[in-house]
Amino acid sequence: MASRSADLRVEGLVKRFGEVVALDGVSLDIASGELLTILGPSGSGKTTLLKVVAGFETPDAGSVRVDGTDITTLPPARRDIGMVFQNYALFPHLTVARNVAFPLEMRNVGKAEIERRVAEALELVELEGYGRRLPRQLSGGQQQRVALARAIVFNPRLLLLDEPFGALDRKLRETMQLEVRRLQRRLGLTTIFITHDQEEALVLSDRIAVMNKGSIEQVASTTEIYERPANDFVADFVGESNIFHGTVTEVGSVTLDSGRRLLIAHPASVGSRVGVLMRPERFGRGANSFNGEVKEAVYLGSSIKLRLACDAGMELIVRQPSGALPAIGSRISVGIEPESIHVF
Amino acid sequence: MSSRTAGGLPPPLPSPVRRGRAGWGRAALPALPALVLLFAFFLFPVVRMLGFSIEDGSLDWYAKALGEELYLRVFWNTFEIALLVTVICLLVGYPLGFLIATTTPGWATLGFIFVLLPLWTSVLVRTYAWMVLLGRNGVFNRWLIEAGVIADPIPMLNNFTGVLIGMVHVLLPYMVLPVYGAVRRLDPALVAAAEGLGASSWSIFWRIYLPLTLPGIFAGATIVFVLSLGFFITPALLGGGKVMMLAVLIEQQIHQTLNWPFAAALSAVLLALTLGVYSLAQAFTRQEARP
């Protein structure tokens, strides 16, 4: 399948529904062949953003450009964008093959050509031989694949995926995630993936855009988002976190609001207000040590998770390598290196 | 309370596997009043009426009904009108139902009022209203003459046209409502998906809406056709005795010629026809629904 992937640039998108501001000046650049995930809680505006890109909503302000061409007001039928909907939206009265053929028929592709490309697309999603079945005769995962085949069969310029794995069980979901990733890489298809599941976002993406209340909080690579979140919201939404606030009292040292002092490696200037993030799995030994009472201890197989109540009302979530669970109420010490503390 | 529960023990749960006749009996119990009502006021009169037609021990009245050309023409007439009414209802009702289902809530409410208001008004009242509108000196003819469109009044009452107009008006809601329901049941994501895949509005209608609302069309058409077959008031009043439909003929046999056995035979044939059409439609729908 020849790729004619495009880059996408949205600028200053604003969309209001009555009093509600769904998009509050969203700008985003996606390179050709990139997979970008838009991650955010429900109501953050991520679905509205997708609808504006697909053409189902017209923004009140701002523009959508594909390969430099403004498509903001182009109707969806003329955008050449493949989309996979939350509940697949397969046509129930058409067979799998006819579903996949639909976008080709709409483009007046010849019969033989359609047949060839449908077979190719079904092979790509590993559904050879399912062409004559109806959607309702397929499992959820198979329907998902049909929807995917239908969205890519016409060589779209962009692929949009709107929480496509929400209805699948965990195992199938992980398989499909990897499959989408494989397919997307193979076709070099510029893809926007929408999810509220941060784990899914980390597995799939080249980059992640975290959305909240109609704005983008941060756009960065997966590691960047996890290791160096830009603010409280991103730090809290992606992964487990211990977030505190304080003031830099001298170079390499923060005094938290609780009074506790922390050594940091970050060169923040003296006197500035900062947030500090300590990921639970980063605790072990280190220059900053905490002594706390075990309030909660959970065995998770590959690790154990503890909730510690430390001095000055500080509470810490700590992950440690799997082992015996400490008794509730006992006191233990953990430490963290200054380099492992992210300051923002 | 049965004796089993008298000892204060909870009744044993009915086994789902061995639900025999007793299980069915219990299930039917709440429906008993309705069944009694149906039997006393519907089944019994129908059977009694059918009895009239064979009271003299022969099928002569049926031979007359199905053998003489005069009466066969009435059957044909009835079918023709029913079919025409169904087709017109479909042509008017589908777009109307579709529009009401897809427009904004405000317009939908207005549309509903227009469709349902007649349904709540007596057929008799509506039919008399049509007489006022369609007559030789009726509202329509006077308008048209005053506007200079026509010189002589168009005959619209006491003929085929009048009956058609009246029947379509009365039966239209039965087409609009199933179509409305079918369009509403259609997942809007399918329409969006088709649009996103490059379909024009025209394609979306023919490829998505129409096939997926076919059951609604079929349900509406069946109801309208079946109701048309036995329609009485409207053809009787707007046809002015010149448009002979089966129900009108039956009424004549009862009131004017007092030939009850023949009226009963005609009714039996009408009943058989109606049931035939209905079961045909059912068989067809079931086939549609099969994967």
**What is the predicted pLDDT for the residue at A171?**
86
B199 neighbourhood in chain A, CB within 8 Å? 77, 102, 106
- Flag if B196 and A55 touch (Cβ within 8 Å): yes
A161 neighbourhood in chain B, CB within 8 Å? none
B182 neighbourhood in chain A, CB within 8 Å? none
Do residues A336 and A276 make contact, with C-beta atoms less than 8 angstroms apart?
no
**What is the predicted pLDDT for the residue at A242?**
93
A76 neighbourhood in chain B, CB within 8 Å? 192, 195-196
Closest approach of A89 to chain B, Cα-based (Å): 5
Do residues A172 and A164 make contact, with C-beta atoms less than 8 angstroms apart?
no
Residue ranges of chain B that CATH labels 1.10.3720.10: 59-289
B210 at the A interface (CB within 8 A)? no
**What is the predicted pLDDT for the residue at B6?**
39
- Flag if B212 and A75 touch (Cβ within 8 Å): no
Q: Which of B192, B198, B291 sits opposite A103 (nearest CB)?
A: B198
B192 neighbourhood in chain A, CB within 8 Å? 56, 76, 85, 89
- The order of strands in the sheet holding A242-250 is A261-263, A253-256, A242-250, A273-278, A342-343
Rounded to whole angstroms, how far apart are CA atoms A25 and A62? 8
Q: What is the pLDDT along chain A (344 residues), one digit of tens a residue?
A: 445 778 999 999 999 999 999 999 999 999 999 999 999 998 899 999 999 999 999 999 999 999 999 999 999 999 999 999 988 999 999 999 999 999 999 999 999 999 999 999 999 898 999 999 999 999 988 999 999 999 999 999 999 999 888 878 888 888 888 888 988 999 899 999 999 988 889 888 989 999 999 999 999 999 999 999 999 999 999 888 999 999 999 888 999 998 889 999 988 888 899 999 999 999 988 889 899 999 999 999 889 999 999 987 889 999 988 888 889 999 999 999 999 999 99
Do residues A64 and A10 make contact, with C-beta atoms less than 8 angstroms apart?
yes
Rounded to whole angstroms, how far apart are CA atoms B237 and B162? 9
Residue B142: CB partners within 8 Å, gap ≥ 6? Answer: none
Residue A316: CB partners within 8 Å, gap ≥ 6? Answer: A242, A278, A280, A283, A290, A292, A307, A308, A310, A334
Residues of chain B with pLDDT under 70: 1-25, 287-291
Best residue in B197, B213, B218 for a mutation probing chain A (most A CBs within 10 Å): B197
Instruction: Specify the DSSP element, H or E, that contains A296.
Output: strand A288-299
* Amino acid at position A13, single letter: L
Q: What is the pLDDT of residues B277-287, one digit of tens each?
A: 889 888 877 76
Count, residues in chain B: 291
- Flag if A91 and B194 touch (Cβ within 8 Å): yes
B192 at the A interface (CB within 8 A)? yes
Q: Which of B194, B196, B291 sits opposite A137 (nearest CB)?
A: B291
Closest C-alpha among A1, A2, A3, A51 to residue A23 = A51
Q: Which of A75, A136, A150 sits opposite B197 (nearest CB)?
A: A150
Closest approach of B187 to chain A, Cα-based (Å): 8
- Flag if B196 and A107 touch (Cβ within 8 Å): no
DSSP character at residue A301: S
B187 neighbourhood in chain A, CB within 8 Å? 87, 89
Secondary structure class of A319 (helix, strand, coil):
strand
Phi-psi label, residue A312: left if phi above 0, alpha if psi -120 to 50, beta otherwise: left
**What is the predicted pLDDT for the residue at B15?**
46
Closest approach of B219 to chain A, Cα-based (Å): 18
Q: Residue with structure tokens 């989408």?
A: A180
Q: How many other C-beta atoms lie within 10 A of the C-beta of residue B197?
A: 29
Quote the pTM value. 0.78
Closest C-alpha among B29, B174, B195, B162 to residue B96 = B174
Q: Which of A91, A92, A107 sits opposite B198 (nearest CB)?
A: A107
Range B224-255 burial, b when 16+ CB lie within 10 A, else e: bbbbbbbbebbbbbbbeeebbbbbbbbebbbe
Best residue in A57, A106, A108 for a mutation probing chain B (most B CBs within 10 Å): A106
Closest C-alpha among B99, B27, B64, B47 to residue B271 = B47
Q: Residue with structure tokens 């893809």?
A: A191
Rounded to whole angstroms, how far apart are CA atoms B63 and B18? 50
A77 neighbourhood in chain B, CB within 8 Å? 195-200
A93 neighbourhood in chain B, CB within 8 Å? 211-212
A150 neighbourhood in chain B, CB within 8 Å? 197
State the fold for domain B59-289.
MetI-like fold (1.10.3720)
**What is the predicted pLDDT for the residue at B288?**
58
- Flag if A56 and B211 touch (Cβ within 8 Å): no
Count, residues in chain A: 344
Best residue in A52, A80, A102 for a mutation probing chain B (most B CBs within 10 Å): A102
Rounded to whole angstroms, how far apart are CA atoms A229 and A217? 9
Rounded to whole angstroms, how far apart are CA atoms A16 and A14? 7
Do residues B251 and B232 make contact, with C-beta atoms less than 8 angstroms apart?
yes
Rounded to whole angstroms, how far apart are CA atoms B228 and B273? 12
Residue A196: CB partners within 8 Å, gap ≥ 6? Answer: A39, A40, A41, A42, A46, A163
Q: Which of B189, B195, B207 sits opposite A77 (nearest CB)?
A: B195
B207 neighbourhood in chain A, CB within 8 Å? 91, 102
Phi-psi label, residue A67: left if phi above 0, alpha if psi -120 to 50, beta otherwise: left
**What is the predicted pLDDT for the residue at B24?**
65
